[in-house]
Amino acid sequence: MHPVSTELQMHLECISQEQLEPCFVYDLDALRQHLDKLMAQDVVKLWYAVKANPLSRIIRTLAEAGFQFDVASSGELHQVLAQQINPEQVLNTGPAKSKRQIDEFIALGVRTFVAESLNQVRWLNQAAQAHKVQLKLLLRVQLRWPKGEKNPLGGDTLTPFGLDPQQWHGLYLADYPALTCIGVHIFQWGNMLSADKLLHLWQQMLPPLQVLSEQLGFAMQVLDLGGGLGVPYDDESEPLAWQDVLTALAQIKRESGVQELWMELGRYAVAECGYYLNPVVEQKENYGEQQLIVSGGINHLLRPAVAGQAFPCALLRTSTAPTRAFNIHGPLCTALDSLGTHMLPEDINEQDWLVFTQTGAYGFTESMPFFLCHPMAAEYVIADGNLHLLRESAAPSSYLR
């Protein structure tokens, strides 16, 4: 676990004394410092992938730091606009853009779209003509490598994101006068912790993308490389250094000749600012192994169950007792409700709280809060050194009918 400042530790302890239920805490002061570091460059234009954490105060902190916003649903768009973000600063990605959603986005002022299918291109053009506006368009490409060649992605799983180049080759852009195709979008890797690997991946994407832009007859002004910058979820992994990412991106910018590189960051932008505080219910020994049963599980943090990767975990209190491995289980009556195996002091007990880190991304809204009728997690922010409760822990009676 990364070291926690004394001020933050004080806030977390204070919450553990007031609260009975698990909750999330987001350190917006630390977030702002991190974002300022990401923005201090002119290599890549940064968007925030709202799905990582759509909390109002997180969105506002990103806006204040100068990020623009990548949204993938009507709900995300409304949440961003409710924070006074200009719709011109919104980019729309996502495989499910119905005609109705496209119409709504244009009516609300969004002008930049990533097309993921031929229908999306057609529908975007129709809607733009109906609204008498011109849209900026990027084509999302899904690449594969011929069998036998080393696949840089380590697999060729079909996803609904974008289209293979052959499908795009059937597009005749002159048929869509309300769309200005400014570039391509490609993103098919996740949680990468090596700048060298990223550079290698990106370099192999360039030739097929350049062929596509030549064949379709548009200049590749923008290359959008999506997200995928990783954060460490275990003690062995080293964080990805931003300077190394920038060096790799600068090389890609030179080699591709594009005017602008774009990325939409989720995890790398916000994971580290989030903490999930979780009371211990009890410790027990079972077949020679130590188990900790805790109040909140995958109802609040689903990611370990779907990604097979636990969030880092530590004891909130300082203990000098020797550590041992504990299997941590949430309260849901399914074996899926595991938050991983962690080394923790052996004197841990039912008075204690655990703190899970890197939970600023893919936490609260990625989860399944209704199963087994437990309370929804509270959400706190720390801003200018002060703690604010944004969302109370909600009793099941508030959402059950």
Ligand X SMILES: *Cc1c(COP(=O)(O)O)cnc(C)c1O
Q: Within the chain, how many helices (H) and strands (E) appear? A: 11, 17
| CB of residue 343 to ligand X, shortest distance in Å | 27
Give the DSSP letter of residue 84: T
What are 282's strand-pairing partners?
293
How many angstroms separate the CA atoms of 58 and 380, rounded? 11
- Joined together, the tokens standing for residue 299 give 């109802």
For ligand X, the closer CB: 111 or 267: 267
Cα 57 to Cα 28, 221, 256, 385, distances in angstroms:
8, 33, 36, 15
For ligand X, the closer CB: 226 or 232: 226
| CB of residue 113 to ligand X, shortest distance in Å | 12
CA angle 289, 294, 297 (to 5 degrees): 105
CA angle 290, 12, 382 (to 5 degrees): 140
| CB of residue 392 to ligand X, shortest distance in Å | 28
| CB of residue 163 to ligand X, shortest distance in Å | 14
| CB of residue 153 to ligand X, shortest distance in Å | 14
| CB of residue 57 to ligand X, shortest distance in Å | 19
For ligand X, the closer CB: 267 or 329: 267
For ligand X, the closer CB: 21 or 76: 76
> Where do the H-state alpha helices sit in 19-138?
28-39, 56-65, 74-81, 99-107, 118-131
For ligand X, the closer CB: 283 or 365: 365
For ligand X, the closer CB: 113 or 187: 187
How many angstroms separate the CA atoms of 16 and 391, rounded? 16
How many angstroms separate the CA atoms of 184 and 202, rounded? 13
| CB of residue 187 to ligand X, shortest distance in Å | 5
| CB of residue 200 to ligand X, shortest distance in Å | 18
For ligand X, the closer CB: 190 or 217: 190
Which residues sit at the interface with ligand X, rule CB under 6 A? 49, 51-52, 70, 93, 187, 190, 226-229, 264-268
| CB of residue 189 to ligand X, shortest distance in Å | 8
For ligand X, the closer CB: 269 or 292: 269
For ligand X, the closer CB: 125 or 142: 142
Cβ atoms of 294 and 309 closer than 8 Å = no
How many angstroms separate the CA atoms of 61 and 273, rounded? 12
Cα 339 to Cα 23, 25, 112, 278, 286, distances in angstroms:
15, 18, 39, 11, 17
How many angstroms separate the CA atoms of 47 and 263, rounded? 6
Cα 338 to Cα 103, 186, 288, 298, 367, distances in angstroms:
42, 33, 18, 7, 13
For ligand X, the closer CB: 93 or 125: 93
| CB of residue 304 to ligand X, shortest distance in Å | 16
How many angstroms separate the CA atoms of 107 and 79, rounded? 16
